[in-house]
Amino acid sequence: MELNLAAMLDMAFQLLTFFILTFKPAPVEGDIALRLPPPQPITNPNGQAAGADEKNTNPVQGLNSLIISVAPNKSGQAGTVAIGERPVPLSQLDGELRKILSDSGSPFEQVIIQAGSGLRYDALMNIIDTCTRQHLPDGKKLSKLSFVEMPGEGK
């Protein structure tokens, strides 16, 4: 009994063509569209449990939050960075946060990062790394970090 080699080669090339034409590579990690959850307080403001006041529709009301706004540029990198309302160059963000958060009179208990929806994942992680390197006046590391989408986006 002889095998028909031509038919086997034909079938192999058909399978190869099928898999090449239907292959869809995974998106690059930096191109992930982030949908950030709303900020949630992780402290009990004024001894009150979170969510105990049903009339309070703002989950961070009562917390002293430092807000960092990050607007992406056209390539998805951090274009404009602001601490509160004050613009800060990205290269000086670490020093500015250290100055603000290590001050013994600093009232801030958490940091909220307002990120634009076009911000790349690696750019967001650089901001997060910068924030988590900071120390509070009592010497503890900053551990209360929340994310929210930039107001006016995603609507």
pTM, full prediction: 0.56
Tell me: pLDDT of 79 over 90.
Answer: no
Of the given ranges (42-46, 72-76, 137-141), which has the lowest mean pLDDT? 42-46
- Which of these, 79, 73, 48, 72, lies nearest to 61 by C-alpha position? 48
User: What is the SS3 string spanning 52-67?
Assistant: CCCCCCCCCCCCCEEE
Please say whether the beta carbons of 109 and 64 come within 8 A.
Answer: yes
Computed over every residue of the chain, the mean pLDDT equals: 77
Structure confidence at residue 84 as a pLDDT band (50, 70, 90): confident
pLDDT in tens, 14-66: 999 999 999 887 666 555 566 666 665 555 555 555 556 566 555 555 557 78
- Please report the pLDDT score of residue 10 as a whole number: 94
Residue 143: strand, helix, or coil: coil
- The DSSP result for 13-62, as a single string, is HHHHHHHHHH--PPPPGGG----PPPP---S-GGGPPTT--TT---TTTT
